[in-house]
Amino acid sequence: MQTEATPAQADVSESDLVKRCQAGDTEAFDELVTRYRTRIFGMIYNMVHSEQDAWDLAQDSFVKAWRSIKRFRRTSSFYTWIYRIVMNVTIDWLRKKHVKGGGAEFDDSVPLREIDAAAKTTPKVAALPHETMQRDEIRLRIENAIAQLSPEHRAVILMKEIEQMQYHEIAATLGCSIGTVMSRLFYARKKLQNLLRDVYENL
Amino acid sequence: MKTFEEKWTAWLDDQLSGRERAEFEASLLDRAAAEAERAAAKKLGALLRRELGTHDLANEEFFSHQLRERIARETHLPIRERDVEVSPWWTVGRLLWTGTASLAVFSVFMIFVVHDRNPVEQSQYLTQILNARVDPVVSPNASISMFEAKDDRVTVLWTEGLQSLPADYAAK
């Protein structure tokens, strides 16, 4: 799994921060949040495709992590541990929301982008308008395709392709067998290939 | 024994060992189509990484601020309130204490309340007299009154207008 800091720095300081968190130090937890908030938010966003929901779920995940930090035995990295919490919270939320596959999201009447309260007001890079539009359309196609996967298939394909996690790491995160992970990957890839073939073949 | 789906996935991700890979590739009916499928899967992975790889968190500092506020609120909750959230069901210890206390209250009730309602040796005559049928024809103005002094263990039964006592009582 990727980490933002170099492994040695991350291991030492992260371990120290976790120990301080377990002693009730909220500033240490704040430091861990600062370190991982963007990656966690991004991962949740890819699962739920709504900035506001991703924001709320990321908040809930961190709060849950704080509540149970004393039970963290440090046998894995903090990121792996909190990632498991994030996935549980997000999959649970998706199940409750009854997100199911369907063609509704390909309906042209669905707006391309909704202005979100949590969205940035200025773009980072001034891209040409037609490039931006094309990029937005591709992204929307991908999001719609992913939205047709079950929460479990969604989680597996994103962990494998975006986070580049190993099978055993995904299995540990989701609490299932490696065989189940591989099987889910098989069907998730097949479905996405069918839905996005024209997109990736024309790039 | 791996299923076909598992072997296919491992093959796509280059996770099969040399012998496993050779066996799997030999089992494929259309090797060229499988290779094309694998190339397509790799393109899909690259597309997902390129398009979904980065999604910035807007207002990062506000995110942390909001989180700090929530955690501060949780930290300052009264202990009892937090316990209720964590453990919605009673613990064994609490159940034991409640059971013991209930038993003690019940015992006290039995000893001091119910016990006192059964005065000793009071009922023998009284019950006989009160239960005796007074014939209204023979004794139309009969009345029976009782006076009791619990501390002295004395009970006085005052009868008026009785023409006769019940036979079984008189015999005593």
pLDDT at B70 over 80: yes
Of the partner residues B40, B55, B70, the one whose CB lies closest to the CB of residue A63: B70
Residue B75 lies in a domain: yes
Query: Quick one: A11 and A66 in the same domain?
Result: yes
Tell me whether residue A14 is exposed, middle or buried, using C-beta atoms within 10 angstroms of its C-beta: 0 to 12, 13 to 18, 19 or more. buried
Q: Judge contact between A188 and A156, C-beta under 8 A.
A: yes
Residue B57 has phi, psi (to 5 degrees) of -90, 115
Helical H runs in A75-166? 78-97, 129-147, 151-161
Domain count, chain A: 2
- Mean pLDDT for B109-115 is 76
pLDDT value for A11: 52
pLDDT value for A87: 93
Residues in chain B closer than 8 A to A58 (CB atoms): 57, 63
Domain boundary among A63, A83, A117: A117
Count CB-CB contacts under 10 A for residue B33.
Answer: 10
Residues in chain B closer than 8 A to A161 (CB atoms): 44-45, 48-49
Q: Determine the structural domain holding residue A124 and report its residue range.
A: 120-203
Share of chain B above pLDDT 90, in %: 23
How far is A98 from chain B, CA to nearest CA, in Å? 23
Whether B63 sits inside 8 A of A197 (CB atoms) is no
How far is A149 from chain B, CA to nearest CA, in Å? 14
- Amino acid letter, B71: I
Q: Determine the structural domain holding residue B111 and report its residue range.
A: 68-117
Residue A104 lies in a domain: no
Query: Quick one: B77 and B101 in the same domain?
Result: yes
Query: Quick one: B37 and B76 in the same domain?
Result: no
Name the nearest CA neighbour of B59 among B67, B70, B50.
B67
Name the nearest CA neighbour of A157 among B35, B32, B12.
B12
Query: Quick one: A88 and A183 in the same domain?
Result: no
Whether B52 sits inside 8 A of A120 (CB atoms) is no
- B31: Cβ contacts below 8 Å, ≥ 6 apart: B25
Name the nearest CA neighbour of A32 among A65, A6, A60.
A65
CA distances from B46 to A199, B39, B42, B52 (A): 12, 11, 6, 10
Domain count, chain B: 3
Residues A184 and A191: their CA atoms lie apart, in Å, by: 11
- Mean pLDDT for B26-54 is 89
Query: Quick one: A130 and A158 in the same domain?
Result: yes
- CATH number of A130's domain: 1.10.10.10
pLDDT at B138 over 50: yes
Residue A129 lies in a domain: yes
Residue B60 lies in a domain: no
Of the partner residues A30, A124, A189, the one whose CB lies closest to the CB of residue B41: A189
How far is B68 from chain A, CA to nearest CA, in Å? 7
pLDDT value for B148: 72
Residue B57 lies in a domain: no
How far is A66 from chain B, CA to nearest CA, in Å? 8
- Mean pLDDT for B68-73 is 90
Residue A69 lies in a domain: yes
Residues A130 and A120: their CA atoms lie apart, in Å, by: 20
pTM for the whole structure:
0.62
Whether A37 sits inside 8 A of B60 (CB atoms) is yes
Domain boundary among A68, A83, A117: A117
Query: Quick one: A95 and A44 in the same domain?
Result: yes
Whether A162 sits inside 8 A of B52 (CB atoms) is yes
What three-state secondary structure class fits B59? coil
CA distances from A89 to A34, A36, A76, B83 (A): 20, 16, 19, 22
Helical H runs in A6-128? 7-22, 26-48, 51-68, 78-97
Residue B158 lies in a domain: yes
User: How many Cβ pairs closer than 8 A exist between chain A and B?
Assistant: 116
Whether A45 sits inside 8 A of B55 (CB atoms) is yes
Residue A168 lies in a domain: yes
Q: Judge contact between A67 and A13, C-beta under 8 A.
A: no
pLDDT value for B86: 52
Residue B129 lies in a domain: yes
Query: Quick one: A154 and A171 in the same domain?
Result: yes
pLDDT at B63 over 90: yes
**Token reading at B58:** 């807007």
Query: Quick one: A88 and A182 in the same domain?
Result: no
Indicate the Cα dihedral angle B119, B123, B126, B130, nearest 10°: 110
Residue B62 lies in a domain: no
Query: Quick one: A62 and A126 in the same domain?
Result: no
pLDDT greater at residue A85 or residue B141 = A85
> B2, B8, B9, B16: best mutation site toward chain A, by most A Cβ within 10 Å?
B9
Q: Judge contact between A147 and A53, C-beta under 8 A.
A: no
Q: What is the mean pLDDT of chain B?
A: 77
pLDDT value for A122: 45
Whether B74 sits inside 8 A of A29 (CB atoms) is no
Query: Quick one: A93 and A124 in the same domain?
Result: no
Query: Quick one: A130 and A185 in the same domain?
Result: yes
Is the ipTM of this structure higher than 0.90?
no
End-to-end CA distance of chain B, in Å? 99
Residues in chain B closer than 8 A to A158 (CB atoms): 48, 52
Per the listing, tokens 């940035």 go with A120
pLDDT value for B78: 56
Residues in chain B closer than 8 A to A45 (CB atoms): 55
Whether B71 sits inside 8 A of A51 (CB atoms) is no
Query: Quick one: B112 and B124 in the same domain?
Result: no
- How would you write the pLDDT of chain A (203 residues) with one tens digit per residue? 544 445 545 555 888 999 999 998 899 999 999 999 999 999 999 999 999 999 999 999 999 999 999 999 888 888 889 999 999 999 999 998 865 544 344 333 334 444 444 545 444 455 677 777 888 888 899 999 999 999 999 999 999 999 899 999 999 889 899 999 999 999 999 999 999 998 888 77
**Token reading at A161:** 């392709």
- Mean pLDDT for B15-35 is 89
pLDDT value for A127: 64
Of the partner residues A38, A139, A185, the one whose CB lies closest to the CB of residue B60: A38
Residue B61 lies in a domain: no
Whether A118 sits inside 8 A of B58 (CB atoms) is yes
Distance of CA B19 to the CA centre of its chain: 58
Residue B40 lies in a domain: yes
- CATH number of A43's domain: 1.10.1740.10
Residues in chain B closer than 8 A to A85 (CB atoms): none
Whether B44 sits inside 8 A of A200 (CB atoms) is yes
Name the nearest CA neighbour of A174 among A164, A187, A184.
A184
Query: Quick one: A147 and A184 in the same domain?
Result: yes
Query: Quick one: B125 and B162 in the same domain?
Result: yes
Distance of CA A143 to the CA centre of its chain: 13
Query: Quick one: A24 and A62 in the same domain?
Result: yes
- A32: Cβ contacts below 8 Å, ≥ 6 apart: A14, A17, A18, A21, A78
Which of B82-91, B104-113, B144-153 ranks highest by mean pLDDT?
A: B104-113
Query: Quick one: A137 and A95 in the same domain?
Result: no
